[in-house]
Amino acid sequence: MISEKMMMLGKKRSVIREIFEFAKKRAAEIGKENIFDFSLGNPNVPAPACVKETIMELLENEDPVLLHGYTSAQGDLRVRKIISNQINLEFGTELGPDNIYITVGAAASLTISIKAIALPDDEFIAFTPFFPEYKIFVEAAGAKFVTVASDENSFQVDIPKFEAAITAKTKAVIVNSPNNPSGVVLSEDNIRQLCAVMAKKSLEFGHPIYLISDEPYRKLVYGDIKVPYLINYYDNAFIGYSFSKALSIPGERIGYIVVSNKMINATDTYAAVCGAGRALGYVCAPSLFQSVIAKCINETSDIHIYKKNRDILYEGLTKLGFHCIQPDGAFYLFMKSMEPDAYMFCEKAKKYELLLVPGDDFGSPGFVRIAYCVKTKQIINSLPAFEKLANEYK
């Protein structure tokens, strides 16, 4: 009677949510400070001052009818100009406002881009470990989700495996760098090889294979790491961006899609993006926050806190004998489970009040995700618990 598929999707709470609910229960029992909850990727650093200041200023000075009114469906022209200019300045691109479509956050950037290009039987490739919603978004658009295992030491794209996975039905490839859940940033060299394979295969199969780059963590990188801007490496590319993590406003749902100006049939494809947004019920992105990001586009939350957390955690865990992938960005650390079954490992961790997420849902069994967007104190206090956990395997 109803859609069984949608019902199952609604009922199947994600593993992350389950752990989050457990954490709340356990905190009530033994006190929040005694729980080491590393389950949720919710920014814990407040938004930069600019966000509050801008909202106050807009409320004081703008006509509320305009401030809270509909914008055009693809986003306010003035804001789209600011976004395209900022990207051009930063990455030397030549985008115009009509290459930008403002969205209700990164998830909407993905569902809209996918819906714009998906035809029945199409295949969308993603690399393990991947954000679990990708599968849901691809399948909701009626296409098939295909995964390719990354190199298991570096978590860079395994180029031969990738090449072997491309078929005549491959419509697009989804990349996510900095990656959730591994924190890994794809190297420029790896990206060049990836794009070369895509170009070759596009030619071989006689149709473009699109690149969809999901980049909510672009601004969260540590040290002198550079995240290559993919439309400078591949023409048929969409970039999905979100201000959620950079400005610590994940609940406000604001981001954008870049449809590369160098894409084949860029104008038609941009129209398809507009059409997909319309079909999915996105009338426009929240108008107040369109104005906010226009003003705060060059701001970032204080990411030094995340860097400090990463350093303490990575160093601490490595010293304890854990095998960790060095995260260059985002606020996740991907760690090898000390037994093959990561679920069992996470259960053992729970004994020491350590709440970790098994990598299985991300397509990488045998790993766990540790979200370090938490108080630094929690990380320091958790290390003795991690030590006890490690001792179980000695």
Scanning 110-118, 177-185, 333-341, 354-362 for contacts with its own copies by CB under 8 A, the matching segment is: 110-118
Q: Choose between 190 and 269: whose C-beta lies nearer to its own copies.
A: 269
Write down the least CB distance from residue 297 to its own copies, Å.
Answer: 16
- Measured from the CB atom, is 136 or 165 closer to its own copies? 136
Binding to its own copies (CB under 8 A) within 161-190 occurs at none
- Piece of 91-99, 108-116, 225-233, 338-346 that binds its own copies (CB under 8 A): 108-116
Minimum CB distance to its own copies smaller for 51 or for 303: 51
The distance of Cα 16 from the centroid of its chain, to the nearest Å, equals: 15
Site map for its own copies, 122-151, x if CB under 8 A?
-----------x--xx-xx-x---------
Site string for its own copies, 2-41 (x = CB under 8 A): xx-xxxxxxx------------------------------
Q: 126: Cβ–Cβ under 8 A, 6 or more apart, which residues?
A: 134, 135, 145, 146, 147, 148, 173, 174, 175, 176, 363
Contact status: 208 vs its own copies (CB under 8 A): yes
Tell me the two tokens of residue 140.
């909701």
* 46 is an interface residue for its own copies by CB under 8 A: yes
> Looking at the chain, how many residues does it have?
394
Nearer to its own copies, 282 or 345 (CB): 282
Q: Which is nearer to its own copies, 109 or 337 (CB)?
A: 109
Q: Is the Cβ of residue 237 or residue 335 nearer to its own copies in the bound state? A: 237
Residue 345 CB, nearest distance to its own copies (Å)?
Answer: 27
Q: How far is Cα 156 from Cα 8, in angstroms, rounded to an integer? A: 33
Binding of residue 115 to its own copies (CB under 8 A): yes
Mask: binding to its own copies, 318-347, rule CB under 8 A, as x and -? ------------------------------
- Tell me which residue has tokens 């071989």: 204
Query: Considering the complex, what minimum distance in angstroms separates the CB of residue 21 from its own copies?
Result: 10
Residue 391 burial class via C-beta count within 10 angstroms: exposed 0-12, middle 13-18, buried 19 and up: exposed
Stretch that binds its own copies, among 65-73, 88-96, 323-331, 385-393 (CB under 8 A): 65-73
Q: How far is the CB of 119 from its own copies (least distance, A)?
A: 6
d(CA 348, CA 300) in angstroms, rounded, equals 37
Contact 262, 92 (CB under 8 A): no
Longest dimension (CA), the chain: 66
Among the listed residues 279, 318, 347, 384, the single contact to its own copies using CB under 8 A: 279
Closer Cβ to its own copies, 21 or 392, answer by number: 21
Query: Residues binding its own copies: what is the number (CB under 8 A)?
Result: 80
Residue list 284-313, contact with its own copies (CB under 8 A) = 284-290
Taking CB under 8 A as the rule, does residue 119 contact its own copies? yes
Query: Shortest approach of its own copies to residue 312 CB, angstroms?
Result: 21
Backbone angles phi, psi at 129, to 5 degrees: -75, 145
Is 270 near its own copies (CB under 8 A)?
yes
Task: State the nearest-atom distance from the C-beta of 42 to its own copies, in Å.
Answer: 6
- Give, as ranges, the residues between 247 and 266 that touch its own copies (CB under 8 A): 248-253, 264-265
Rounded to an integer, what is the distance from CA 330 to the centroid of its chain? 9
One residue of 15, 19, 100, 104 binding its own copies per CB under 8 A:
104
Binding positions for its own copies, 186-205, rule CB under 8 A: none
Residue 70 is a binding residue for its own copies (CB under 8 A)? yes
